[in-house]
Amino acid sequence: MNVMITGAAGGLGRAMANECGRRGYNMFLTDINEDGLLSIRRGLERQFGVTVAAKVCDLTDPDSVDSMLAVIDRHGIRFDMLLNIAGLDFEGSFMGHDREKVVNIVALNDAATLRITHAVLMRRRQIGHFTAVFVSSLASMFPMPLKATYAASKRFLLDFATSLRQELKDQDANVLVLCPGGMVTRDDTIEAIAAQGFLGTVTTNPLEVVARKTLDRALKGKATYVPGSLNRILSFTGKLIPRSVVAAVIHRRWNHAQEKWLKNKCCTPNSSLKQSIH
Amino acid sequence: MNSIVVTGATSGIGLETVRLLAGEGYHVLAVGHIQTHCEKADRDIRAGIHDAKIEWYAADLMQQREVIRVAGEIKSLLDERGDGKLYALINNAGCARSWYMTTEDGYEQQFALNCLAGFLLTHELLPYLLKAKGRVIMTSSRSHKGIKVHWDDVMLSKRYNPLTAYKQSKLCNILFAQGLNDLYASEGLRAYAVDPGLVNTDIGNKTAGIVDFVWRLRKRHGVSPTVPAKTYSYLCEHTKAPTGLYYYLCKERSYSKQVTSESAKRLFALSGQLCGVHYGKDAKR
């Protein structure tokens, strides 16, 4: 099994790569962070003895993607699985961030994901089953003020993946879309989850479980995976209530949580507004 | 002047140990996680001990490339300013987590920092320690008792229990000290594990939910970190190294029956594979 993993040096990417390593899959990893990419490659080889190739790539840059594809083609690598993990998020209001920073969320989460998905599907192994995984979010189920661009970019992935699944159904391929709540991928996500209080803790999904079950379900041919029973209830409820009401409720809650979080942040150094709730 | 490396040096047990050792006239090479915390700790110690000889290094020891980098800096200093001898290495840096989180290498964080970082740093500094017939001291814990090492899934990724991961890493600290003694005691190197007891430090601050609750309970009746610091100083001060393995309040204590030379060997093989190093003849200069 040859697997392409994007965003492999991040928290979820590493967890997915570990899960693939445990299953004995060979991997082609990519990420924009070169040091991180080399570290995870070395760690996987040492832990599992699998074959791992890695290439730094800025997926938002077509030239960068082309030079990575040239390496893949030179070695004749063909894939059985694609895990689209690379993604980006900034908390806060739409007008609270620089223009290009906001646009970059869509450039990576959506445009770059389409670019790499197309490229890898062109390079799928001729014989055998193919599996693609997209990482959407629980946020894709609702309009989310203060995470507006992010939630909408994840909605794009949810709808795209669901449609692509139908297109590829008769070509021996399955597409699964993962919609997790919060996941603890970095130190500052712990603070962000704590700021959301009880609801933050109970909607948080254990990374290692998400990684394992995502692969299990994708290989079983499932279409979507919302980890955690409470998250499944939340996503179902979101479909029953009018979207404008959902938006108002979420706006109130996030406003409160972010204020609380920012207040704590003022007292600690290295404050960052990044959070990787997928 | 004897040089001693202390990791996890900017707070808690590490900070008080650096203060005590610097006061006793050792040349301390202190490794902390964050540069600003190193600067603060330095000011704090120098306020009391004006002529303290301390060098500070900031490194995130959870990441193996950071361990290698800081070991390189320490080795250069020992070569340039000293006689190439390292009198003691105190592997004290540790963390507690409430979720499964990985390092850049993809290793579970508690295992990576509490266990592998000390394994790799000791390996890198081994020639200097052997030259000095030095000592290696691990910060273990009483919580190592009552559990076994999960050899088939040492990072507990199949079923993660954060408290089990912590306890296991502390058991591995004693196994590591045992393994070092098995390999190098005949050459004059001695390794120890210290049980600091219940101490009121910052560990466990980056946790939430039940794990946070457990750590708060643990620390509530904790003593000041100046208390365990004395045990580290005790293990460094004798001209003839003490021969025990596990110490609490400057006295040898009993430890888990899980600590055997056979398990230690197994830990060395596993850690060696995960760090890409091998303890043995090639580790010497």
Residue A271 lies in a domain: no
A78-121 per-position pLDDT tens digit: 999 999 999 998 778 899 889 999 999 999 999 999 999 999 99
Residue A150 lies in a domain: yes
How far apart, in whole angstroms, are the C-alpha atoms of residue B270 and residue B168? 14
Cross-chain residue pair A184–B99, CB shorter than 8 Å: yes
Three-class secondary structure of residue B206 per DSSP: coil
E-strand stretches of chain A: 2-6, 26-31, 52-56, 81-84, 130-135, 173-178, 224-225
How far apart, in whole angstroms, are the C-alpha atoms of residue B187 and residue B133? 7
pLDDT (average), residues A150-162? 96
What's the Cα-to-Cα distance from A170 to each of A118, A164, A174, B28, rounded to whole Å?
A: 17, 11, 9, 67
Nearest to B57 by CA among B69, B41, B70, B72: B70
CB A274 within 8 A of CB A89: yes
Surface-to-core class of residue B111, CB atoms within 10 Å of its CB (0-12 exposed, 13-18 middle, 19+ buried): buried
CB A140 within 8 A of CB A162: no
pLDDT (average), residues A32-57? 97
Query: Which of A47, A190, A201 lies at the smallest CB-CB distance from B106?
Result: A47
What's the gap in Å between the CA of B108 and the closest CA on chain A?
10
Q: Provide the domain limits for residue A24.
A: 2-266
**DSSP 8-state symbol, B25:** T
Whole-complex ipTM: 0.91
Query: Which of B102, B157, B208 lies at the smallest CB-CB distance from A201?
Result: B208
Work out how many domains chain B is built from and give that number: 1
CA dihedral (B60, B64, B70, B71) positive or negative: positive
User: What CATH number does the domain containing B264 carry?
Assistant: 3.40.50.720
**What local confidence, expressed as pLDDT, does residue A274 receive?**
32
Q: Hey, what are B61's tokens?
A: 């020891």
What's the gap in Å between the CA of A130 and the closest CA on chain B?
25
Q: In which band, very low, low, confident or very high, does the pLDDT at A272 lie, cut at 50, 70 and 90? A: very low
Q: Hey, what are A234's tokens?
A: 């939340």
A186 strand-pairing partners? none
Examine the pLDDT at A190 and tell me if it is beyond 80.
no
Most confident of A76-85, A186-195, B195-204, B219-228: A76-85
Residue A272 lies in a domain: no
**What local confidence, expressed as pLDDT, does residue A185 receive?**
83
**What local confidence, expressed as pLDDT, does residue A264 receive?**
63
Tell me the one-letter amino acid at B172.
C
Residue A275 lies in a domain: no
Its pTM stands at 0.91
Work out how many domains chain A is built from and give that number: 1
Examine the pLDDT at A253 and tell me if it is beyond 80.
no
Number of Cβ within 10 Å of residue B94's Cβ equals 27
Residue A45 lies in a domain: yes
Residue A273 lies in a domain: no
Residue A201 lies in a domain: yes
Q: In which band, very low, low, confident or very high, does the pLDDT at B271 lie, cut at 50, 70 and 90? A: very high
Cross-chain residue pair B107–A190, CB shorter than 8 Å: no
